Structure 1
């Protein structure tokens, strides 16, 4: 089953025009500096307006940022309400739609072809945070093919552009890493494409938590309601969105590492400078008059693009075992990755602890789970905190699991570990984390009204617009109302 998305959200430029027409796109004066200033402006407007930068750093190619920085905007792009957002994404993830390949001559992303050029000169790549080690591509969809099966994977990885035709990439232990290790075992490079500037739904689909060999471009097609147009790269066999703005074609070299970092990551801290794998750039193709997209790290566009697909996957995972799980939310305070709130219709004592354990097994990034009742809105952190304050007791409702795998980007996981001066921990011990679960649900059976939530009859139904007399003024000396 597919549902067509609004046409304006299946094309980046039409989406930007829609945001502009509705007062949600700020156009900045020409010539903003690529080092820090561009990111500073985008951060100031984060969640309020997307930002369009003409001629940044003297480049002809403009930069855009923040066009997916509110949950409501993402729902709007999908053509649903916020309450339907996870269900719509889940539907697409479970019913991927195979893409449609088009010939080179029909691909907008290959209108201009450049080889032997320095990406730093051709592309307006910003330097974002204070201690970042140079310019970074932060919104590039990295697409690679499984050396065994040919199936593709799509992810967003940070990429440091540090020399001509060489870029260092951070790969976490997920599908791209598995593809690379398979290619490396064969003593072969891994062909990749870095795609910059795609429509909102393709961008969102790239972050799906999908099985190995499930091509996220097919999830994008399902979100679009029609097969995604793709084209084969000019220097390798990777298929990329044909209507993308920019494509960098290259190879991740086997056995080659170069220094990368530090870089300000989504937990709002810097990750260390370490030796990382390297992309050798073979070609850069782009549309005529392309638009370059950058994501300001750790801000709302970054956090939401990661959290919403994860929420959809987590909800589906939990509901397979617990049909009474109603909703989930990865909180912004938990950087959209680490803190999960789960709403259930509780039927048995002890059930929330089972839900907690299942949630930890669903994704290793999750560090804290709070389970609440169906009278608590999980998207409102004030209500979740109220549930913890009034329904949780640490001696009976706390679950702690020590020594589990967590996020390698969580700086607290390496505290107290000594690996020698200026040495990073080896990869097999990075991200070791304690997990904490809180059962913040009320008892299934309780005495009288001890756990009945206080409400006033009519608080949700009284028509305030009809009742408030906007023309009335009170004389506070006499207490009389005057009009």
Structure 2
């Protein structure tokens, strides 16, 4: 697959050849300035900052900040999506992830002699860690993939976590209770041990995507990454933690999450609001290793790259869940207005009354953070908010088509919810046309031949 050589640099080169990467050659500050420039490029090109003040390491941002670039990362072929509508690109992404999940294979492994072993440091200030927002707790690493040993299962776990730099050797690491890394940590802590980890920064986006996928407990996400990369992923064994990380990683940090130390932190989340303050475990650095001319990857919280990396793998999972319940499901779309996390639109080819509510229940089961979901017919574009609102306005009756579920488990990110107890009220909307009325009553009128008309021929 073109561009899928399994490393971060080859993907950036692919983006440049596709006209999808811009370079900033002037000196920029990692405090706010870099984030501000990246925000201006949201939904546009990826960007490589060649000179970051106080560091010798370049920074890449907005790498998979559009669905097209996301698709390139997992398929490597732009021809299938260059002329495609947004909904069709989403379908192609979902299909590719489903295909990868059906053909898992272990990556190759090497014992050493990899590029990230060429340089080392023991000081976190050598990295261009970015301070993104006005009220941030400090500079955060936002693109890290954390590798840990699952001592219960005996295999590795990989997941994405953000880390707040506290000093030259310590960072607070955000871990959601009950998720896989937290389980590994609590198992080690309960046995009186620190948890050794390796942290990779600057990996091929397929690795980030696999780490963000909410796989079942005990599933090795690197099998998913290897499948997305067509079998090209190679893992290298680290010296301190004895964990396997992508051999192409630009930067690898090794150390341990301390069993008996916490620190307060808060961060900007997908909703682009500040999360509440939490006491989180502390990571203590053993050593940083990095490539010659290393490239650091930063993800701007709450903007397109962050939302797509988190949301699109979940969309694929939701699609499989819903389609298993309603086989005529056409698409699942986590909306921009819901920060690609809290709200979804589900498109089905309705056969029976009641199917939309079954689809809603399946969607809420697949993605517990989901707060609002709307089911539409197959003549409504689920990625077009005006079309979805039209469906609600013309095909929904509130007394029979709303599904309201109070006091259900929700997202801790939603500031309107009971964040302490993770409780929210969920709303499902059946915005499909009733089968009890004539289909013609809901038909959207068309003008024959309109799609062939070119205004330039008339004006």
* Structure-2 separation of matches of 1:71 and 1:320: 25
SS of residue in 2 equivalent to 1:154: strand
Q: 2:68 aligns with which of 50, 69, 72?
A: 72
Q: Determine the structure 2 residue equivalent to 1:113.
A: 120
Whether 2:97 is the aligned partner of 1:130: answer no
Shift of 1:171: 0.7
Q: Determine the structure 2 residue equivalent to 1:438.
A: 429
* Structure-2 separation of matches of 1:23 and 1:91: 28
State how 1:237-316 maps to structure 2 within 5 Å: 237-261=242-266, 263-316=267-320
Q: Determine the structure 1 residue equivalent to 2:152.
A: 148
* Structure-1 separation of matches of 2:272 and 2:139: 18
TM-score in terms of structure 2 length:
0.93
* Structure-1 separation of matches of 2:390 and 2:180: 39
Q: Determine the structure 1 residue equivalent to 2:105.
A: 97
Count of residue pairs brought into register by the alignment: 446
Shift of 1:371: 0.6
Q: Determine the structure 2 residue equivalent to 1:87.
A: 95
* Structure-2 separation of matches of 1:341 and 1:284: 43
Q: 2:216 aligns with which of 194, 198, 211?
A: 211
Q: Determine the structure 2 residue equivalent to 1:234.
A: 239
Q: Determine the structure 1 residue equivalent to 2:84.
A: none
CA contact (8 A) 1:265 1:271 kept: yes
Worse-superposed segment, 123-132 or 194-203: 194-203
* Structure-2 separation of matches of 1:391 and 1:354: 18
Shift of 1:301: 0.4
* Structure-1 separation of matches of 2:301 and 2:147: 21
Q: Determine the structure 1 residue equivalent to 2:383.
A: 379
Q: Deviations over 1:12-48 (max 9, x none)?
A: 2122122223332222233211110000001101121
- TM-align CA RMSD: 1.7
Whether 2:325 is the aligned partner of 1:337: answer no
Q: Determine the structure 1 residue equivalent to 2:3.
A: 7
Q: Deviations over 1:388-434 (max 9, x none)?
A: 1111121111011111111112111148xxxxxxxxx4xxx1x2111
Q: Deviations over 1:316-359 (max 9, x none)?
A: 11122221112101111111111111111111111111111121
SS of residue in 2 equivalent to 1:152: strand
CA contact (8 A) 2:6 2:248 kept: no
* Structure-2 separation of matches of 1:181 and 1:394: 46
* Structure-1 separation of matches of 2:185 and 2:296: 27
Shift of 1:76: 2.6
Q: Determine the structure 1 residue equivalent to 2:85.
A: none
CA contact (8 A) 1:250 1:283 kept: yes
* Structure-2 separation of matches of 1:187 and 1:210: 28
Q: Determine the structure 2 residue equivalent to 1:476.
A: none
Shift of 1:227: 4.6
SS of residue in 2 equivalent to 1:307: helix
State how 1:162-173 maps to structure 2 within 5 Å: 162-173=166-177
Worse-superposed segment, 436-445 or 252-261: 252-261
* Structure-2 separation of matches of 1:58 and 1:213: 40
TM-score in terms of structure 1 length:
0.89
Q: Unaligned stretches of 5+ in structure 2?
A: 82-88
